Structure 1
Amino acid sequence: MPRVLLAWEGGAGRGHVVTLRSVAAALGAPEHIDAALYRMEHAGEIEDVCGTVFRGAGLRYDGEGRRARGVKTASWGEFLGDLGFRDPDFLKTQIGWWRETILARRCGLVVGDYAPCALLAARSLGVKAVGVGAGYGLPPPGLDIFPVLIEDYSERLYDESEMTGAVNAALAHYGAPPVSRFSDIYAYDDQLVRSLPQLDPYPQARTAPYLPPVADAPQRLYSEGDEIFAYFSTSELDDPLLLDAFLSLDAPRRVFAPGAGAQAREKLARAPGVTLEARPVPVEEIARRSRMIVHSSQNGILALGLACGLSQAAAPQHLEQEFNARKAESLGVLRRLPRRAAEASVLGDVLMDAYESQEMRRAAQAVAQTVRPVFEVDVSQAIRTRLDAVMRAFGP
């Protein structure tokens, strides 16, 4: 088996590390696997399936100009522009770091989640490159321009042809061939899209089968739960209105919030009717105990809620989560919390309305019947089969 480098360059939360863990677990050969993570707070979740885990080079987000002009991110291409893809010198440095790492570790395969420069580096060296992750952050190549994904936010700040030029200048520096379109930076040997078609911005452009989202499904659907389960992976509960709204709810609550600050965690731990979990809760327990699930609309937890047949409420923190939430809302199974609520009671009313809605419960149970077959795929076997097709070296 060739040496494999797992790469993560951008994004927040533990979902990216959990996604890469699923790849390492599928391969089952820790001594041949390295992981380079641009953030290390969740490194412990992958250390047991990798030989070496170390800090990698991260993309830089610069949204000052966008904020100053009051312009939201219109497309994935615009987001890449904020991450430094307008700057050929930055791209040379970023790609160069990954090239040096790939060569030093003698890797024959790079698998990246939110790692476009790592995978460009692999391609520039003739090393096999595979992207993995949710559909939103793993667009298909061949798009003439990245489309606007939310009609409310359609103003563009950047010219994709100029960003294509910046990428090609960096690639030329390393003697690598140019890309024809900006989206062609995602022309990998394979894309392991871990998403439901209902949550993918590009379902018509996919040429390979979807893999299940990075979430488990319960063995069956339950209907007797009365808890509200909340999952906040970053600093969502640092928002005092959201925290106060959650604490005020007239229902039993269970929360796993690995990214919450000390003050929020203290309030949760002291609050009557709230169980603060120290580690991830098994999906069977979530499904059996819960009537509703609350989150920021991350791909994995949203998909888990769909598979469990639970009503959902979401407080999106950025455009990807906003896109996910609107998709789920269109299915009749989720309520979005208002972004500029004047007081916590407004958010609390939305949460309790979703909790008590029989219409949402019926819709959630119906949607669960349509998505549950996706989760029946043996993910480890599917990943191994796909990577075997790329490398022809992994055995049966």
Structure 2
Amino acid sequence: MAHLHLCWELGAGLGHAGRLKMLAQALLEHGHRVSLSVRDLRHTHALLAELEVPILQAPVWLHDTVGLPPPASLAEILFRCGYLEAPALRGMVDGWRAMLALLEPDLVVADYAPTALLAARSMGLRTAAIGTGFSMPPVGRPLPALREAPAERLASSEARMLATANAVLAELGAQPYAHAADVFLGDANLLCTWPELDHYQRDGADWLGPSCVAEGGLAPYWPDGEGRKVFAYLKASHAAHAAVLRALVDEGCRVLAYVPEVAAGGVPPVISERVLYAEAPVSLPQALAQADLCACHAGEGTLAQSLLAGVPLLMLPSHTEQFLGARRVAMSGAGYNAALLAPDGDWRAVLRPLLNEAGYRDAARGFAARHAGFSPQQLNALLVERITLLLDGRHDARR
């Protein structure tokens, strides 16, 4: 059977590693050999511990790039990762090339890993890109704007990023990219989201559905008494996390909160008999099956599982990818995007419609009905099928 190398280069959080873990398990069950390289070995150690495969440190950019404005496109994100100048990028590419030469994979599967894709292209290796809509821009189109910016700036940044990538490919005797979007795409593109959650407006894409870990975690437990049940997955790094928990208490809710910093021994932000703090990650399917509302930072896995359970969302995005996802959910009517609400804002006024008006619940339940029957196992089967076709040379999924 084939050897597949699964890699993650950019982006924070455990979603990337979780997606690759599930794919690795499915590939192993089909008899393939698998190796991984991940951006963050420390925070993924427990998640990936049961995988009996080589897990390596991915080559990542370690240097600060000062003086750049907040990124307005994927091209400008890459400027912070070595794509400003070809000599800097060449060092990163050589690191990936050396690792791939040692591993000798038959296929490279890249989760938000453009430099791994570039290195594989320079070596003539087959590739697949996997991820949410954010890291996989529409094929053959200008890179989408992530925030308001002059058109001239967006075009200039895109051209510079593409020129840097192509300069390295030219040095290595490889074919150049035709479009900037190609830097993020592979020979096959495994788009793990649904149209309603896709960060970009695109037509006719092959949406396979979101990858979310549906197993593991603590069984949910709720404060005693009366009141709506709210599951809150919030981080202390968000300035409004305490204000949201306090507003939920003031609205008479019973809250099960997973705050990683509290689980690690930190001081709870709100002390109340109406709030219980989980000591470890909670089983989302079980918790959301009982919840009336989910408060979270709009990570795609949490969004997908909440909507599959028909539960509306209060979303507090912390970065651009989460903001775009929250905006899509808010457009569907299934949640409220609180990105622009100040920490000392009127959170109770935001919560009351989410808790009491039927529109949010109906929109979330409509989403659940449209995707009834979907499961992570179904997605993994699709992914293995597409990868098998690519390995057999019968798959053309650059779309």
Does the residue aligned with 1:39 lie in a helix, a strand or coil?
Answer: coil
1:1-396 correspondence runs (5 A): 1-28=1-28, 32-40=33-41, 41-59=43-61, 64-67=66-69, 72-143=70-141, 145-149=142-146, 152=148, 156=153, 158-202=156-200, 204=202, 207=205, 209-215=206-212, 226-232=228-234, 236-250=235-249, 251-258=253-260, 265-267=266-268, 271-339=272-340, 341=342, 343=344, 346-375=346-375, 378-392=378-392
Task: Note if contact 1:149-1:201 (Cα within 8 Å) is conserved in structure 2.
Answer: no
Q: CA separation in 2, counterparts of 1:139 and 1:117?
A: 16
Which range moves more in the overlay, 78-87 or 16-25?
78-87
Task: Note if contact 1:256-1:277 (Cα within 8 Å) is conserved in structure 2.
Answer: yes
Which one has a larger percent helix, Structure 1 or Structure 2? 1
Q: Give unmatched runs, 5+ long, in structure 1.
A: 219-223
Q: CA separation in 2, counterparts of 1:282 and 1:226?
A: 19
What is the CA-CA distance between 1:34 and the residue it aligns to?
Answer: 1.5
Q: In the alignment, residue 330 of structure 2 is paired with which amino acid?
A: E
Task: Note if contact 1:161-1:181 (Cα within 8 Å) is conserved in structure 2.
Answer: no
Task: Note if contact 2:27-2:33 (Cα within 8 Å) is conserved in structure 1.
Answer: no
Q: CA separation in 2, counterparts of 1:130 and 1:247?
A: 45
Partner of 1:221: none
Q: CA separation in 2, counterparts of 1:340 and 1:267?
A: 22
Q: CA separation in 1, counterparts of 2:245 and 2:387?
A: 43
1:195–1:381 Cα change, 3 Å: same
1:140–1:358 Cα change, 3 Å: closer
Q: Deviations over 1:67-90 (max 9, x none)?
A: 4xxxx4332233223333222122
Q: CA separation in 2, counterparts of 1:213 and 1:5?
A: 21
Task: Note if contact 1:24-1:50 (Cα within 8 Å) is conserved in structure 2.
Answer: no
Number of matched pairs: 376
Task: Note if contact 1:216-1:375 (Cα within 8 Å) is conserved in structure 2.
Answer: no
What is the CA-CA distance between 1:290 and the residue it aligns to?
Answer: 0.4
Q: Deviations over 1:70-118 (max 9, x none)?
A: xx43322332233332221221111111111111112221111111111
Q: In the alignment, residue 257 of structure 1 is paired with which amino acid?
A: V
Q: Deviations over 1:367-389 (max 9, x none)?
A: 22123355487122211111101
Does the residue aligned with 1:34 lie in a helix, a strand or coil?
Answer: strand
Identity %, equivalent residues: 26
1:342–1:108 Cα change, 3 Å: closer
1:104–1:65 Cα change, 3 Å: same
Does the residue aligned with 2:144 lie in a helix, a strand or coil?
Answer: coil
1:160–1:241 Cα change, 3 Å: closer
Q: CA separation in 2, counterparts of 1:154 and 1:261?
A: 43
Moved over 6 A (4+): none
Q: Provide TM-score, normalisation by structure 1.
A: 0.85
Q: Give unmatched runs, 5+ long, in structure 2.
A: 216-225, 394-399
Task: Note if contact 1:112-1:131 (Cα within 8 Å) is conserved in structure 2.
Answer: yes
Does the residue aligned with 2:134 lie in a helix, a strand or coil?
Answer: helix
Q: CA separation in 1, counterparts of 2:75 and 2:262?
A: 30
